Amino acid sequence: MLIFILPLIVVVLLMVPFLIYAKRIKNGGSPKKAFIGNLCTFFGTMGLALLFPIGKIVFAAEETGSVSTVLSTGAGMGYLGAALAVGLACVGSGIAVSAGASAAIGATSENPDAFVKSLIFVVLGEGIALYGLLIAILIISNVGSAIGL
């Protein structure tokens, strides 16, 4: 039972600062400060999880007969790196598409012939997320081959 409650506690601890910062933004606070505060809280929690591992949650084991495969810390860091590659690439892609799409709508409203040209710039912004996904696939395949999966 404890193995299910501890991850739930970690998720709740990560969500509480987000709710506080969301309330601060709603009341007219700076979204930049709220984002930086939420980011610092997230990485602080992840740092504490690295310093103080919680028993069997950190290491996953699969037993098949007499063979036991245990994921090492290096494999865990590889999976974390793959997740960060996809996550940060998607955030960058969202920023690029938000800037490109609004400019594309403005250009198309002034000159309808500029639609195709502006669409190309929006699609280039979306390509950033695909690059992050490709990097994550490469990382996961290298981690899988390193641990024998």
- Structural domains of the chain, count: 2
pLDDT given for residue 10 in this prediction: 72
Distance of alpha carbon 110 from alpha carbon 73, whole angstroms: 55
pLDDT given for residue 70 in this prediction: 52
Q: Are residues 47 and 78 in the same domain?
A: no
Domain assignment of residue 18, given as a range: 1-58
Q: Are residues 20 and 86 in the same domain?
A: no
Please indicate, yes or no, if residue 66 is contained in any of the structural domains. Answer: no
In this structure, of 57-61, 74-78, 122-126, the range with the lowest mean pLDDT score is 57-61
pTM: 0.53
Q: pLDDT tens digit string along 125-138?
A: 889 999 999 999 99
CB 68 within 8 A of CB 61: yes
pLDDT confidence bin for 8, thresholds 50/70/90: confident
DSSP H stretches of helix in the chain: 2-26, 31-51, 73-110, 115-147
Distance of alpha carbon 84 from alpha carbon 136, whole angstroms: 8
pLDDT confidence bin for 90, thresholds 50/70/90: very high
CB 147 within 8 A of CB 71: yes
Which DSSP state fits 50? H
Please indicate, yes or no, if residue 65 is contained in any of the structural domains. Answer: no
